[in-house]
């Protein structure tokens, strides 16, 4: 199987957050090495962008699911977790 075919197949199936992040770190390492040609750099960049979007989406899903237990009037209730970073900061990251 060629590297291109493997990359296409890998990006077609959903990966766990950890696997996606691991692959993204590998891509960055390879790109920073300076050993890749222009075409390979572009392929890595495109794959990296896809992984960044995937990881960001998964983090957003998890953030929505996080609930904090809060004691109100002697009863335990749940409230949605409110993130500390505002949306402007998140946009600047990408």
What are the structural domains, with CATH classification, of the chain?
3-81 (1.10.287)
Each residue of 38-92: pLDDT tens digit?
999 999 999 999 999 999 999 988 877 775 555 566 676 777 766 655 444 444 4
Mean pLDDT along residues 34-40: 94
SS (H, E, C) the chain: CCHHHHHHHHHHCCCCHHHHHHHHHHHHHHHHHCCCCHHHHHHHHHHHHHHHHHHHHHHHHHHHHCEEEEEECCEEEEEECCCCCCHHHHHHHC
Provide the pLDDT for residue 77.
72
Mean pLDDT along residues 21-31: 96
């Amino acid at each position: 199987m060629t590297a291109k075919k493997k990359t296409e197949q890998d990006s077609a199936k959903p990966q766990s957050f950890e696997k996606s992040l691991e692959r993204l770190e590998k891509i960055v390492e390879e790109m920073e090495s300076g050993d890749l040609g222009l075409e390979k750099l572009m392929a890595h960049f495109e794959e990296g962008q896809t992984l960044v979007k995937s990881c960001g989406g998964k983090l957003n899903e998890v953030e929505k699911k996080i609930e904090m237990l809060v004691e109100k009037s002697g009863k335990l209730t749940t409230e949605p977790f409110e993130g500390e970073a505002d949306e402007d900061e998140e946009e600047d990251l990408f």
